[in-house]
Each structure stands twice: as C-alpha cells, then as structure tokens.
Structure 1
Amino acid sequence: MRILLTGSSGWLGRFLAPLLAGEGHAVIGLDVAPGAHTDVIGSVADAALVERLFAEQRFEAVVHSGALHKPDIARYPASAFVDVNVSGTLHLLEAAVRHGAGRFVFTSTTSLMITRAIREEAGAAAAWLDETSGPLAPRNIYGVTKRSAEELCRLWHDLHGLPVVVLRTARFFPEDDDTLAVPSGENLKANEFLNRRLTVEDCAAAHIAALEAAPRVGWGLYVVSAPPPFTPADAARLKHDAAALIAERFPEAPALYAARGWVLPESIGRVYDPSAIERNLGFRCRTDFAAVLAALREARAMPFTHDPGYVPPKEMVR
C-alpha cells in the first residue's frame, strides 16, 4: 500500500517507518523536522499541503502518529495543540475520505484517560483502566485535543465508513519523566512495565497490527501497553502493598532490584489493561516486566531505551 506516515521524524516514526517498509509498503513520511524517513517537511495543520499530498500520492492508508505531546505544554500555546492535534487530524480524515484511502490508524494516548483524581491517586485502590473507563475528563490541553481527535476519527467512520483504528498508547518515550524524579531513569521505566509502559518497538508493531486489521474491524479503539501481571482483584493491594505483591508474583525481583540499587514501587495507583487488543487484533507486547527481570538476572542491557539527553527533532529546528 501507499501509506502516509505523519510524525516520521519522531521517536515512534523512526521505528515505524522501516517496519512499514519491511512489510512491503511504500511509505511517504511527513514531519515538521527533517529525518531519515521523512520525505516532506511540513505540518498536518497545513490543509493545503495535506490536500496536495493526497492528490499527488493517492494514499491508500494513513498512519497518523504526528502530534504535539504532553512535554510540549511548556513550549507551545494551547492554540498550537488545537491546530496540530485537532485541525491536523481533521485535515487528514477529510483528505482520506475525499481521495479514497481505505484505512486510517491514529496514535492516541492513555494520558487522556487520567482525570485529576486518578492523577492524584486519591482512591483506596488502583484504578483499572481499559477502553470502557470513564467518564473521560482529560486534565490538560494535550489530553483534551487527543480526545477530540479520537472523536473526529469515530465520527468520520460513522459518517463515511472510513475504517479507523485508534491506539491509546501507554508511555514509550526515551527521555526522563518531566514530573517524576524518584525513582529516576531506568528504575522508573522498569517499574512502569508493571502497569503503564511499552517499548517503542512494541508500539510500532501495534500500529502494523492495527493497519492490517482496520478493514475487518471498521472502528476500533484499543489501549496498548505491556500486559500487567495483575488482575482487577489486585487493585486494593496494589495501592497499599505493591512491593509485597510484586515479590509474590516475581520472587527474584527484590534481590535483582537491590543488586542494581533500584527500588520496587510501594504503591501503584493505576493499571492499563491491554487485553482487548490481544483479544480482537491478536496483538500482545513482546516486552514485559518479566523481560526486565531477565535482563537484570543475565546482566544484559535493559530491553527498553533510556536516553535522558533525547531531544525531539522538531525542537532542534525551531
């Protein structure tokens, strides 16, 4: 297929573009910053550019992973989020229908599921979050605009029959967390594979599965995260006794962590449940918390990327 990939210079794009090409697709990358997989420099907020690309390239599918993200809140005004995340998505949807593209995959975020109460972890038990969770009340402009874009995707499927799959991806960024400092670095990322993280490689693979399934699914919305080693029945213990519960599930974890100077979480306030995408699309992340422990046991590099010096390409051309 001829595929338009937005965000082709970004962290996900640099893994997703070669994966799509390896599947035999002809990929045209669009990004505001240059990159190895970017063919066109420009923004999805530019409706004329989007229309020209569709008219010239006759795309058969769109994988829309370009966006302003949560750390960008400190760098861009709210209006820029609306322009890129909402209007940009609308431009792509309209062009996809107008020019007969047969499938559309949209990269969304689990962040939009986090209300202020969930963010503050005020409940007596961990919040168990899946596609049915709600009511949704995103706590920042990033979440609000991604939620709005999801609704545009749903509406364009309803109105025009465009096959659309939305992926609410958990964390896969390589840099340090912009709000959490303890524990830091690799320790924090390793812990998050228990409840709220996946590798960028798994994220890219999920997009391939969504692209293939879109015509069959018609409309689908899925949480994408490493499978948690817990069930909803564990929610209360996760909030108050997480380290002991983890040690029960993984008896070697405390010693492996201690040898590295790491700490297990004492409390986990939320868990993302990706069981629907496994059930409906047959996709399951390859890297999970057990893989992290295996790397510790065997003194190998972590099976995820940690790069505290990572700078998004778009910030290097501002």
Structure 2
Amino acid sequence: MRVLLTGSSGWLGRYLGPRLRAAGHAVVGMDVAPGAETQVIGTVADRAAVDRCFDDYGIEAVIHAGALHKPDIARFPAQAFVDVNITGTLNLLEAASAAGHDRFVFTSTTSLMITDAIRQEAGTVAAWLDEDSGPLMPRNIYGVTKRAAEELCRLQASVQGLNCVVLRTARFFPEDDDSLGEFPGGELSGPNLKANEFLNRRLTVEDAAEAHLVALERAPSLGFGTFVIAAPTPFDKADAEALKSDAAAVVAQYFPEAPGLYQRRGWKLPASIGRVYDAGRAERLLGFRCRTDFAAILTALRTDSPLPFAHDPAYVSPQAGPGDRG
C-alpha cells in the first residue's frame, strides 16, 4: 500500500518508515521539518496541503503519528495544539474517507489517561490503567487535544465506516524526562529511570513502530479499537497496594536477581510505583506484544550487553530546532 506517514521526521517516524518499507509498503512521509523519511514538508493543519499529498501520491492508508507533544507546551500556544492535534486529525480522517480508505492508524498517548491526582501518586495503591480506565480527565492541553482526536477517530469509524485503530503508546522518547526530579525516582540517572519504567510505563521505539505495522494490517478486521501499547508488566492487580508501599520488594519477588544486578550497576529499584499500564488487550485482540520487557533489561545487565533501549539526553526534536529543548 501507499501509506502516508505523518510525523515522519520525528523519533517514531525515523524507525517506522523503514519498518513499513521492509514490509512491502510504499511510504510517503509528511512533516513540518525535513528528515530522511520525509518527502512532503507541510502541516496536517493545512487541509489543502493534505489534499495535495493524497492526490499527488495516491495515498491508500494513513498512519497519523504527527503531533505537538507535552514538551511543546513550553514552545507553542494552546491554539497550535488545537490546530495540529485536532484539526489536523480531522483533515486526515476526512481525506481518508473521501479517498475510500479502509484503514487509519492514530498514534495517541497514555498521557491522556493521567489525571492530576494520578500524577501526584498520593493514594495508597498503584493505579491500574487500561482502556476501560476513567473518567478521563487529561491534565494539560496535550492530553486534551489527543483525547479529542481519539474521539474524532471513533466518530469517523461510526459514521463513515473508516476502520480506525488508536494506539495509546507509553513512553519511548530517548531524552531525559522533562519533569526529572519532581517526583520519586527523579534522583535516578536517565538509564536507571528508563529501565525501571519497563516495569510499568515504557516501551522501546522499535516496539512502538512494530505495533503500528500490526495495527495497519489488522485495522480492517477490528473496525475501531483503542489499545494501550507498553511493555508487558510482570505485576498483577493484586500487587497494587504493595507496589505503592514497597515496589522494590515486589520486584525482587518476581525477579530475585534484580537487586544484585542493580547494585552492581550502581542503580536503584523503584521504591514506589504509583501507576501501571496494562497492555493485555493489545496482546489479546490486536495480537501484539512488545518484545522488550524488564526481563530483557536484566539480561543485558547480567551479560554486560548494551541496554536494549535508547537513551540520548541530547536528543532534540527536529521540530524544536537547534538549542530549543523546551
């Protein structure tokens, strides 16, 4: 298929473009910034630019991975988030329906599932988060606009019959957390923190790319579906209280060698885990499971192999430009 990939110059796009081509698809990348995977420079907020792209390249399917993200809040006004994340999504959905497409994949975020209360982690038990969690009350303009875009996908599927798969991806960015130091665990090094997050809230960019490919293939048989995409957690709901009070002890129960391997690296296991993303539905219904999990992290530590995830504190989004980290 001739697939339009938005956000093609971004972190996910640079992995997803080659993966799509390897699967036999012709890929047309669209982004506001140039990049190796980008053929069309333009914004999805411009309907005329979207229509030209569809006409010029004969687009047959869309993976909409382009968006303004949480770090962009420091760089752009709220209206820009509405223009790109909401209007841009609507432009693509309507263009796809008009072209008679049978599949549309939308990159969403688990961030929209996090309320202020969940983020503060003030409760006595870890929040167990899956596709049925709610009510959804996103805490910033990023989450609000991504949630609205999800609803546009649902509506287009219902009214126009466009098969839409929404992927709520957990963390896979390579840079340090932009809120590092604000909450428990913030004193850890970037690699240590990322490794810990594979227990409950992270995946690799390679797994994120693979999830999109699977969603593209499965969309016609699913109709509409929303899926949390994260490394499989080793925990059970019954662990929620213990995870909040003594996560390190729970981890040691599941992975007895973890404390020693961490000590050898000079790392720390999480003292408390306040929320867990459950990606079980994606495995059951979408047929996708992340390859890299916490056990893979421990294998790398045990064998002194390279860590199986990217960490690059100097990474700058192409959209941000040199010197603009937000």
Aligned to 2:112: 112
What is the rounded CA distance, in whole Å, between the counterparts of 2:189 and 2:140 in structure 1?
24
The count of residues paired between Structure 1 and Structure 2 equals: 318
What is the rounded CA distance, in whole Å, between the counterparts of 2:53 and 2:9 in structure 1?
17
Aligned to 1:244: 249
Contact 1:55/1:99 (8 A) holds in 2: no
Indicate the SS of the match to 2:320: helix
Aligned to 1:263: 268
Indicate the SS of the match to 1:162: coil
Most deviating of 308-317 and 213-222:
308-317
Indicate the SS of the match to 2:29: strand
Indicate the SS of the match to 2:165: strand
Contact 1:164/1:214 (8 A) holds in 2: yes
Question: Identity over aligned residues, as a percent?
Answer: 69
Aligned to 1:56: 56
* TM-score when normalising by structure 2: 0.96
Alignment of 1:30-49 (within 5 A): 30-49=30-49
Aligned to 1:98: 98
Contact 2:40/2:53 (8 A) holds in 1: no
What is the rounded CA distance, in whole Å, between the counterparts of 1:120 and 1:281 in structure 2?
32
Is 1:312 aligned to 2:311, yes or no? no
Unpaired segments ≥5 residues, structure 1 = none
Whichever residue aligns with residue 109 of structure 2, its letter is T
Aligned to 1:223: 228
What is the rounded CA distance, in whole Å, between the counterparts of 1:314 and 1:119 in structure 2?
27
Aligned to 1:286: 291
Indicate the SS of the match to 2:107: strand
What is the rounded CA distance, in whole Å, between the counterparts of 1:151 and 1:279 in structure 2?
23
Unpaired segments ≥5 residues, structure 2 = 182-186
Contact 1:15/1:204 (8 A) holds in 2: yes
Aligned to 2:140: 140
Q: 1:297 aligns with which of 296, 302, 314?
A: 302
Residue 56 of structure 1 deviates from its aligned partner by: 2.2
Contact 2:31/2:40 (8 A) holds in 1: yes
* TM-score when normalising by structure 1: 0.99
Is 1:213 aligned to 2:218, yes or no? yes
Aligned to 2:21: 21
What is the rounded CA distance, in whole Å, between the counterparts of 2:289 and 2:231 in structure 1?
8
Aligned to 1:86: 86
Is 1:192 aligned to 2:197, yes or no? yes
Whichever residue aligns with residue 119 of structure 2, its letter is R
Is 1:158 aligned to 2:158, yes or no? yes
Contact 2:114/2:138 (8 A) holds in 1: yes
Indicate the SS of the match to 2:242: helix
Most deviating of 254-263 and 169-178:
254-263
Whichever residue aligns with residue 217 of structure 2, its letter is E
Alpha-carbon displacement from aligned partner over 1:41-73 (angstroms, at most 9, x marks no partner): 111011110011112222111000000001111
Q: 1:232 aligns with which of 211, 234, 237?
A: 237
What is the rounded CA distance, in whole Å, between the counterparts of 1:66 and 1:105 in structure 2?
11
Whichever residue aligns with residue 161 of structure 1, its letter is G
Indicate the SS of the match to 1:105: strand
What is the rounded CA distance, in whole Å, between the counterparts of 2:268 and 2:260 in structure 1?
10
